[in-house]
Structure 1
């Protein structure tokens, strides 16, 4: 039985839990999804999702709770990980607009610009093209970061908004500017789960 953990310190945790449960069901995979708040829970999971939220807060809380270092090592050692919005920021190698106290996992070879799309009022939805499916996916962009540079050829585009890359994959890691958990479409969560099972 597969077990997925959602880092549950701040952000849209419950939405990811529900989306992952629906994806497991649609794929016919027996599994569960847990809310991860403590480092000892990391040993129970087969994959991890870092949700959207506020990256400064997530970074600070991951350090304070002791999740940061073991999670970084586990992802570096191959634990499948998906980060959406602030989760993408947490995974990124380089972050434009970071605050001095922010610490990042640096497991995804991309440079991102934090809050590149502007304020909350500048949030939007738009069709996103996926590398693994011909049907467009409705991307929900909320104060989203922007992927401004792929830093190695290990990083493969996974999603595009028009001609701009808005989602990437590097081995066991997926990073998305947008929020797939805020739609009823579970294809991205299903794609992530297929990396695990």
Structure 2
């Protein structure tokens, strides 16, 4: 059985866990670097990216998270998690983990009061539109070679995939639709099968 870790520094950790379990995988709440040894893939939840980076540094997780991302295991970043994964962040000199070849705009759709929900067509998800919950959401300004935009809203990229990396600007854990998490679990399963 697949085991997915959820980085538990900030964000809706329990809700992500519920969606991952509904997608047929085990969950480990990642609070220490040792927890990374136990998992097949990692979810980096939303929250506030600057605060999350401070906590990552405080708990000395930056190096281990980078190593995990470079180890060949899948990573799924949602909202602030997406910002942490980006190579470039508009208005900042450096990215954070810099594992995905994309440039992101923080608070791309405005502040908290401009939060909204919208139906999205997400490549790779069957069935009706996926309801994206956007809260102080970023968007992807541009992507590099090898990165595929899998969902857009108002001509802005709001979800992308680069090999084993998946990122979205919205909060898939805040709906009862588990398809985004199931997509990530399937990514892990396919990768495990390909190296088996």
User: Same fold per TM (> 0.5)?
Assistant: yes
| Match for residue 122 of structure 1 among 114, 131, 138 | 114
**Offset, 1:4:** 0.6
Bigger CA drift: 115-124 or 128-137? 128-137
Pair 1:136-2:129 in alignment:
yes
Q: Note the 1:92-103 alignment, pairs <5 A.
A: 92-98=86-92
CA distance in 2, matches of 1:162, 1:114: 16
Alpha-carbon distance change, 105 to 64 in structure 1, aligned in 2, over 3 angstroms = same
CA distance in 1, matches of 2:127, 2:88: 31
Q: Deviations over 1:20-68 (max 9, x none)?
A: 11111xxxxxx31111010011000000000000101111111111221
Residue 99 of structure 2 corresponds to: 107
CA distance in 2, matches of 1:15, 1:54: 17
Q: Note the 1:26-175 alignment, pairs <5 A.
A: 31-98=25-92, 104-132=96-124, 133-150=126-143, 152-175=144-167
CA distance in 1, matches of 2:73, 2:187: 10
Residue 28 of structure 1 corresponds to: none
**Offset, 1:19:** 1.1
CA distance in 2, matches of 1:36, 1:114: 25
**Offset, 1:182:** 0.6
Residue 11 of structure 1 corresponds to: 11
Query: Do the aligned partners of 1:59 and 1:103 also contact (CA within 8 Å) in 2?
Result: no
TM-score by length of 2: 0.91
**Offset, 1:81:** 0.4
**Offset, 1:116:** 1.3
Q: Which runs of 5+ in 2 are unaligned?
A: 190-196
CA distance in 2, matches of 1:41, 1:47: 11
Query: Do the aligned partners of 2:141 and 2:156 also contact (CA within 8 Å) in 1?
Result: no
**Offset, 1:103:** 5.7
Other structure's SS at 1:53 match: coil
TM-score by length of 1: 0.91
Instruction: Give the number of aligned pairs.
Output: 188
